[in-house]
A and B are shown apart, each in its own frame.
Chain A
């Protein structure tokens, strides 16, 4: 937990790049109250690091001026903040009714067998992780999924195959 520059006016270490640190500073005055910067700051940290560590939470707490426990409470409330590393390609498949009526389980089963992991797991090479997710608000392309921040329609297991091929080839 040592090393790295100290955040301005705080003794916490800075676990993010100077660029992210600057962008978080800019957030502190973007909204009428400093506290509002918490969720966007956590998004910026996760964009860079891929997940939110204890160290990151302490750093963000110092920036906003709240306790690390308060930040932990917020992080644990929102499902998009990852408390441990996910794969380079984080695949989330919708499990809510409209997608399940259209074969969401078949798509998930194909992904599971292709990747050799269960929902909630990461492949040993760290390239893929798989997760169920609640309604993504894209029921017109059911079953739908997201890979990182990209929406994908996985209308049948063959499209799940094609997605894995595409990601394996780095496209």
Chain B
């Protein structure tokens, strides 16, 4: 069955980032029709019925999130687009932002219309210099053509979209840290509740959605919720961008319906393993914060519920592939150093725990480990998980506990041999 590309339909065209190319291929038609014929309430209902789940990591249904906004209208409400794509192994939003910014922008306008909001923010990670320039230009083009600003296409609906650049902080991808950053502060996550839909940016009701989530909305508006819900699997509907990197022949972003088999993504889309003589050892289908799967358990379907049943998560679909040459202690040390660097330091279990992970893993990898170290890692992971303000605690505890549990003999080996069996060539 041939799958029709949607999210990546335009990316291979010349000048796909320009409004002229987008318009020439049917762009902004959905917006035109919705502003003329569809009420905000019906647009919201359509997204709800489509089953669209957030593509940023948590997989929460977008339409349900939107419906949490208070009915009272004494304060402005805001839409914040989370373009702070920072989960290691994830580079799908970058593709949309750089190659099809108007698809994203049309999704933003339709979504803002559905929640009756008149100011949207596009928070993009600071390192995406090119993406920022491309997206700002797309916004400028949209204003010039009457798709943004006052009285859009004569509908009476008005919307401003403001870009905001981050400045290098993984934690700002967490939605409440993003809001703090957008307010001009250190990106320290907030306690929830209250949830941002009630108390968000500047204390006002705020919806935060991932870039890819919103890029689906023009298709839902154009072809309807029932059509969208027919793609993928029950409760895991729609098209999806899957990233694959590491030891594969063709690292990249591949579009497929939710629920395609991981092995199909690896072998057919990404061309299989990088070195024919080095078989698959492990993969993290969802991005570095998710639990690792050893090769024999990689025969999984890539959707929210299937991966949860397999003991891991779809996350941001930032798949990482490791072959037989990979030292799992070294790989985990690499990630632990990432999390130790990126912990905002607000919660003691995370701030101290990430430091301990690095210290213990480093001594194991350097041949100075102790026999009790693997258990100590598990113990610290248990004390971090569930004890922090934001999900960063889980994001570091899950890789630690899963790498140690799934590859226990390798960790024990490092401790008893007092050496890394993979030598200096490993990932360390």
Contacts and interface: CB of A to CB of B under 8 A. Distances in A.
B156 interface: no
A36 B130 CA distance: 22
A135 B288 CA distance: 11
Nearest to A135: B88
Contacts of A64: 184
B377 to A, nearest CB: 17
Interface stretch (A16-24, A39-47, A118-126): A39-47
Contacts of B428: 100, 105
Interface string B393-428: 000000000000000000000000000000000011
B169 A79 contact: yes
Interface string B220-262: 0000000000000000000000010111000111000000000
B91 A78 contact: no
Interface residues of B, number: 55
A101 B127 contact: no
A32 B88 contact: no
B130 A135 contact: no
A84 interface: no
Contact of B167 (A31, A78, A140, A141): A78
Interface in B111-137: 119, 125-130
A140 B164 contact: no
A40 B90 CA distance: 25
A97 B167 CA distance: 21
Contacts of A80: 126-127, 167-168
A137 B91 contact: yes
B61 interface: no
B90 A137 contact: yes
B187 A98 contact: no
A140 B252 contact: yes
Contacts of B251: 98, 139-142
Interface residues of A, number: 42
Contacts of B170: 134-135
Interface stretch (B12-20, B46-54, B299-307, B330-338): B330-338
Interface string A118-152: 00000000000000011111111110001001110
A158 to B, nearest CB: 18
A35 interface: yes
A74 B184 contact: yes
Given A137-B127, A138-B94, A101 B168 contact: no
A134 B337 CA distance: 9
Given A37-B184, A140-B91, A150-B129, A97 B169 contact: no
B182 A97 contact: no
Interface of B: 76, 85-91, 93-94, 119, 125-130, 162, 164-170, 181-187, 202, 243, 245-247, 251-253, 288, 318, 320, 322, 326, 331, 334-335, 337-338, 341-342, 344, 427-428
Given A97-B288, A98-B246, A135-B88, 14 more contacts: A74-B185, A77-B169, A77-B186, A78-B168, A78-B169, A78-B187, A79-B167, A96-B334, A97-B89, A97-B331, A98-B245, A101-B320, A102-B246, A141-B251
8 contacts: A35-B183, A36-B164, A36-B183, A43-B126, A78-B168, A80-B168, A97-B331, A98-B251
